[in-house]
Amino acid sequence: MIAHSLPSLIIKGKSLLPVVQGGMGVGISAHRLAGAVAREGAVGTIASVDLRHHHEDLVEASKKTKLQDELDALNCVALDREIRLAKETAQGNGMVAVNVMKAVDAHARYVRQACESGADAIVMGAGLPLDLPEMTADYPNVALIPILSDSRGIGVVLKRWMKKGRLPDAIVIEHPGHAAGHLGAPNVESLNDPKFCFERVLSETRALFETLEIAMDRIPLIVAGGINSFDKVKHYLAQGASAVQLGTAFAVTKECDAHQNFKEVLATARKEDIVEFMSVAGLPARAVMTPWLKTYLGRLDKLQANAKADLARCTQGLNCLSVCGLRDGLAKAGQFCIDMKLSSAMRGEVGKGLFFRGADPLPFGDQIRSVRELLTYMLTGEKPADLQTV
């Protein structure tokens, strides 16, 4: 366990390092990364979406079917394998969580599989997880952690869950102006709306707890997005957060499950290389301007003008999202297959992939270091000796 002087994060009675590793799909945070983070005593997170790409036998099996139910079943097999491997790596330390996107059509199936396979927590974002308590009713020991971006969304979830006799075991507050991937804002223009400011959301949420008669220490609040230094960790814990969540910083660690090329694209990206755009799920997203993304954005007006609802446009045959701009002909949303682009990124195909990345500099610059080194720095301010000047 890493020695530090910060307060512990307590979830379901378990004392944890106050750092959560964000879920990153397709396949960026699978068992190697999540298990390594949990082994150190923090919360490691597996992204549930399309993990079959890490298992050659499942990839081969998926080529033999176009049936949605069979493809979902293969992904559940992959999820089961990844959870069990992560738990084995963790050796009883920390927590192994599973991130499930509400926007994924098979989200309820993935939640059930994660619970059956022994996940310690379910983290859900990309939509309001109003029915998560029902999905996990048979697994009361599994922690439930919604991802939200403002106090209004937190209030909606709390009031709905309280009617069902359940409270979140923690809440991730994700700032869309800093985070990577799909972002909790209605459009690109509102990513930096003041209502998303961490200090404001923390203050408004504490007031909400008081109104709803929820004890202030009952639900840990975890801030996510732009946390890249020990000083920021200390600052937000002093403002009332119980922990911080990091995504991109963990994506460039040695233990990350993605290809080395993926890590290097994220680590070497400059501020001017990071762009925001509308993704296929109808949500804004943030990624690195790679050759494919530059070409796509240059053709976007033409693609949107020709948008049409057609199931045959689902190039992977997955129908993976509940709402898909390409498949459903939604002109204001993205017009590409997100599963294809994210899986290409996982494999390190720089010319083809979509590389989600946060907006802020990384703790170790362009260096790819270990999970333990990253956690040590975020909890103590101590950088590796050879990076003291980074």
Distance of alpha carbon 2 from alpha carbon 39, whole angstroms? 11
Nearest to 163 by CA among 189, 134, 190: 134
Tokens of 15: 């004392």
Every domain of the chain and the residues it spans = 9-266+360-384, 270-346
- Which two structure tokens, joined as six digits, stand for 30? 């699978």
Do residues 116 and 273 make contact, with C-beta atoms less than 8 angstroms apart?
Answer: no
- CATH number for the region 9-266+360-384 comes to 3.20.20.70
Tell me the mean pLDDT in the region 44-57.
Answer: 94
Contacts of residue 195, defined as CB under 8 A and 6 or more positions apart, other chains included, come to 150, 151, 152, 201
pLDDT of residue 1: 76
Q: Say if CB 22 and CB 154 are below 8 A apart.
A: no
Q: How many CA atoms lie within 13 A of 199 on its CB side?
A: 5
- pLDDT class for 154, splitting at 50, 70, 90? very high
Taking the C-alpha atoms of residue 6 and residue 238, their distance in angstroms, rounded to an integer, is 10
**Distance (Å, whole) CA 208 – CA 240:** 14
Asked if residue 105 has pLDDT above 60, the reply is yes
Token pair 């930096």 is found at 192
**Spatial contact of 124 and 102, defined as CB atoms under 8 Å apart:** yes
| Of 52-66, 104-118, 286-300, 306-320, the least confident | 306-320
pLDDT score for 390? 47
Tokens encoding 142: 């599994």
pLDDT, tens digit, 9 for 90 and up, residues 260-289: 999 999 999 999 999 999 998 888 999 999
Q: Tokens 């394998």: give the residue.
A: 81
**pLDDT tens digits, one per residue of 191-216:** 999 999 999 999 999 999 999 999 99
Q: Please tell me the distance from the alpha carbon of residue 323 to that of residue 279, in angstroms, as a whole number.
A: 11
What percent of the chain clears pLDDT 70, i.e. is strictly above it?
A: 98
Instruction: Say if residue 113 is exposed, middle or buried (CB neighbours under 10 Å; 0-12, 13-18, 19+).
Output: buried
In the chain, which ranges are E strands?
9-11, 14-16, 19-21, 43-47, 95-101, 121-125, 143-148, 171-174, 181-182, 221-224, 243-246, 274-278, 284-288
Percent of the chain with pLDDT over 90: 82
pLDDT at position 183 is: 93
Residue scoring higher pLDDT (184 or 88): 88
Predicted local confidence at residue 388, as pLDDT: 64
Cβ-based neighbour number of residue 341 at 10 Å? 24
Residue 390 burial by Cβ neighbours in a 10 Å radius (0-12, 13-18, 19+): middle
For residue 350, say if its preceding peptide bond is cis, omega within 30 degrees of 0: no
Whole-angstrom Cα distance, residue 317 to residue 58? 15
- The whole-number pLDDT of residue 174 equals 97
What DSSP designation does 324 have? -
Average per-residue pLDDT for the chain: 94
